[in-house]
Structure 1
Amino acid sequence: MSVAGTVRGRVVGEQLAPGGIPIERLAARVGSTPFFAYDRALVTRRISAVRAALPADVELNYAVKANPMPALLQHLSGQVDGFDVASGAELRHALDTPVAPARVSFAGPGKTDPELTQAVAAGVTIELESTGELARVKSVSTALQIPARVALRVNPDFTVRGSGMRLGGGPQQFGIDCEQVPAMLATLPDPRVEFQGFHVFAGSQNLRADSLCEAQRRTVELILRLADAAPVPVRYLNLGGGFGIPYSSRDVALEVAQVGDNLEVLMTGLVRPTLPEARVVLELGRYLVGEAGVYVTRVVDRKQSRGKTFLVVDGGMHHQLAASGNLGQAIRRNYPIAVANRMGAGPTETVSVVGALCTPLDLLGEDVELPVAGIGDLIAIFQAGAYGLTASPTGFLSHPAPVEVLV
């Protein structure tokens, strides 16, 4: 989300609010704080930009875990080629959209038997994380007398430089170690399973195009080696995603065109000549929706403590954990933050914005330069469209849940 505000003194944009509505007016419409607002026009614009950068024969899937809001999924269903889900609840949300079950994939460790039953019955592609999961899928298929669509999620023998979170390489709870894949493929000529292909997702939140290009090249080379042992021609190849978005003043936006050019070379030179039947998918979540969201909370107290000013708000890390630094950040950095009803106003002061929870970890903005704010003013935290509400400890201290709106 582009905003009129500052991040440690850096101007970060011009747009005032989702849908072009000033945040103060949007807050009046919602009727209460805190709330999340997501801008459908910005989502559509981002998807169009990604499609323009990608090869025409690379499909675009949305990773529902980034933001599973049902209204957002309905909007996305007309924009993307499929959904990737990671739980039974996400699967139900995906199946409630017009997206065909065959265009839904189900990844993630720890799938329960009821979730596997739901997935087999629906006809979605189950991305297997272990030999044990394969055995349970076969049992479910026998019970339902329905063959299961399956792909193997592969834990590669390389790591991705520059990723905020590594999901592949070394020992992992994610995927099947690539050296174990040939033996597992040997068990797949079975009427209970319909083998589709492979999924490799090695890292997330990566802003380095060169690193993503290298990861995609190594992924394609790995899959081509493994495909030799496949029981049938590969029909599905999920290259993962991992595209990052800038959160702080030191972050530089990803050069997505460079990644698209690299994919074009890989598709033309390697994938199409070797795997002509494969449907090639890029799976993105945060990159499609992260910058299209804002979290808005209201100042309920202003206090001084030994020379430091605190703005205490009615929200906090129980709604927007990532902004507090407690969602895997090695070094905490402030998200773009502004006093929404005092955009560009002076004078300014250095304050820390803290939430309503009984922990010093409930810190939304540390030593930020903002217009002088008081009780009743609105604090907006941007880049809040992904891994916000559903990635946060909403039950902590039993505060009310925030509203979510799509505008």
Structure 2
Amino acid sequence: MFETPAYVYDLDELRRSHALLRQALPSPSELFYSFKANPHPLVVSTLRDAGCRAEVCSPGELATALEAGFPVEDILYTGPGKRDRDVVDAVKAGVTWFSVDSPHGLAQVRRLAGSLVRCLLRVNDTTPAPGQGLTMTGVASQFGADLDWILAAPKLFQDIAGLHLYMGTNVSEEDSLVAQFEQSIRTARRVADRVGTDLEVLDLGGGFAAPFARAGTLPTYPTLAERVAAILDREFPGWRAGSPRIAFESGRYLTATCGTLVTRALDVKMSQDTHIYVLESGINHLGGMSGLRRLPPVVPTLLSDRPSVTPAIVAGPLCTPLDTWGRGVTAPDVRPGDLVRVPNVGAYGLSASLLAFLGHPAPVEVVVDGGRIAHTSRLTLHRTPLSAEQE
């Protein structure tokens, strides 16, 4: 057994999720794994072995990609703001593909890297597509250059090798996802014609849905590949021959269902006719900024062999009343020391949480492969003194 709390990642489930998504995508196409979902080294190396490329947006994610053995030509460096030193270090490491969000971003990369790199221009389309869990375009945004801006001033956006569009996230309905990709493809055609460039790469982003901290399974998209291929045939007839290369991105779909958080009950009591369950884990281990009401609150499914009771408050161990996973909810009637499991937290789980808040130890991370524990580790938080030069 392993120490708790623990995030357990099942690599067999990870491979299954990858196979499901590849079946849903048109061929030929490339698939980038978005490291922000889960940067665990064995998770990313398993996806590398499955054929994924790497989408990173920080020096830490880049270091993880390189350590995991991703070829530098398979790495796309994204993000709405980049420090000069991060661009320089990425170029020194051999990265040749960047996504930029403005004329300033394009000029920055060109100034620091010259002709060594290729840039994708991220586009903020005019209107959002329906059915999104989180809208990423069609609103005022740090992500991408507004479509109207590009069309009105195309000379500001020349010298690009491709386009990057990402309409929204967590789209569970196939029709909505097809509509999103169709809008992006049509927009890409307009931009390419207006700027006057032949695209090398068209990155259509993602938006593939997955359950988060709740019981459930991955949605399937049985006709997505053929429907998107037909749209590409119409707008970019050379795509099947690689002109342009078509790319997609995914984080949550690939990793969500591979992860389970296992944690124990620390205290159990009644308070004003309400069952109170205090767990080892709270917003410091799952839910992150939602615990501070920056995002909709997470109300995880708690799996246990105990019968359920209501009403209940499920809380973590932190010294703040905001550290709750649910108020007035139905919860298993556990006893101190009992284990509970939260499913589908392989994406945006541990690395998206408030680990530094109040200084509790990070959960153990356990990797299971073929039903056996293959690796255990724990993130450590410590302060490293800066050198005089860094200061």
Residue in 2 aligned with 1:379?
Answer: 340
**2:65 pairs with 1:94:** yes
- Quickly say closer, same or farther: Cα 1:67–1:110, change in 2 above 3 A: same
Q: Tell whether the 8 Å contact from 1:166 to 1:202 is kept in structure 2 after alignment.
A: yes
- Quickly say closer, same or farther: Cα 1:217–1:326, change in 2 above 3 A: farther
- Quickly say closer, same or farther: Cα 1:92–1:230, change in 2 above 3 A: farther
Q: Give the C-alpha shift of residue 180 in structure 1.
A: 2.4
Q: Tell whether the 8 Å contact from 1:316 to 1:363 is kept in structure 2 after alignment.
A: yes
**2:144 pairs with 1:175:** yes
Letter paired with 2:366: V
Q: Tell whether the 8 Å contact from 2:20 to 2:220 is kept in structure 1 after alignment.
A: no
1:91 is paired with a residue whose SS is helix
Larger deviation, residues 273-282 vs 263-272? 273-282
Letter paired with 1:349: V
Give the Cα–Cα distance (whole angstroms) in 2 for the partners of residues 229 and 118 of structure 1: 33
Task: Give the RMSD, CA atoms, in angstroms.
Answer: 2.5
Residue in 2 aligned with 1:362?
Answer: 323
Q: Tell whether the 8 Å contact from 1:165 to 1:328 is kept in structure 2 after alignment.
A: no
Residue in 2 aligned with 1:12?
Answer: none
Q: Tell whether the 8 Å contact from 2:298 to 2:325 is kept in structure 1 after alignment.
A: no
TM-score calculated relative to the size of structure 2: 0.86
Aligned with 1:148 (options 113, 117, 135) = 117
Letter paired with 1:170: V
Residue in 2 aligned with 1:8?
Answer: none
Give the Cα–Cα distance (whole angstroms) in 2 for the partners of residues 69 and 286 of structure 1: 14
Residue in 1 aligned with 2:205?
Answer: 240
Residue in 2 aligned with 1:256?
Answer: 221
Give the Cα–Cα distance (whole angstroms) in 1 for the partners of residues 278 and 89 of structure 2: 44
Q: Tell whether the 8 Å contact from 2:267 to 2:278 is kept in structure 1 after alignment.
A: yes
* Mapping 1:6-405, distance limit 5 Å: 28=1, 30=2, 32-121=3-92, 122-141=94-113, 147-182=116-151, 186-187=155-156, 195-230=160-195, 232-247=197-212, 254-273=219-238, 277-321=243-287, 329-330=295-296, 332=297, 334-339=299-304, 343=305, 345=306, 347-350=307-310, 351-405=312-366
Q: Tell whether the 8 Å contact from 2:218 to 2:257 is kept in structure 1 after alignment.
A: no
Q: Tell whether the 8 Å contact from 1:324 to 1:362 is kept in structure 2 after alignment.
A: no
Letter paired with 2:111: S
Give the Cα–Cα distance (whole angstroms) in 2 for the partners of residues 366 and 151 of structure 1: 45
Q: Give the C-alpha shift of residue 335 in structure 1.
A: 2.5
Q: Give the C-alpha shift of residue 150 in structure 1.
A: 1.0
| Identity in percent | 32
Q: Give the C-alpha shift of residue 157 in structure 1.
A: 0.8
Give the Cα–Cα distance (whole angstroms) in 2 for the partners of residues 210 and 69 of structure 1: 33
Letter paired with 2:41: P
Residue in 1 aligned with 2:376?
Answer: none
Give the Cα–Cα distance (whole angstroms) in 2 for the partners of residues 156 and 189 of structure 1: 18
- Give ranges in structure 2 of 5+ residues lacking alignment: 369-391
2:303 is paired with a residue whose SS is strand
Q: Tell whether the 8 Å contact from 1:290 to 1:384 is kept in structure 2 after alignment.
A: yes
After superposition, what is the alpha-carbon deviation per residue over 1:172-230, rounded to whole angstroms, capped at 9, x for unaligned? 1111111223577535666xxxx320000121122222221111101000001111244
1:281 is paired with a residue whose SS is strand
- Quickly say closer, same or farther: Cα 1:188–1:218, change in 2 above 3 A: closer
TM-score calculated relative to the size of structure 1: 0.83
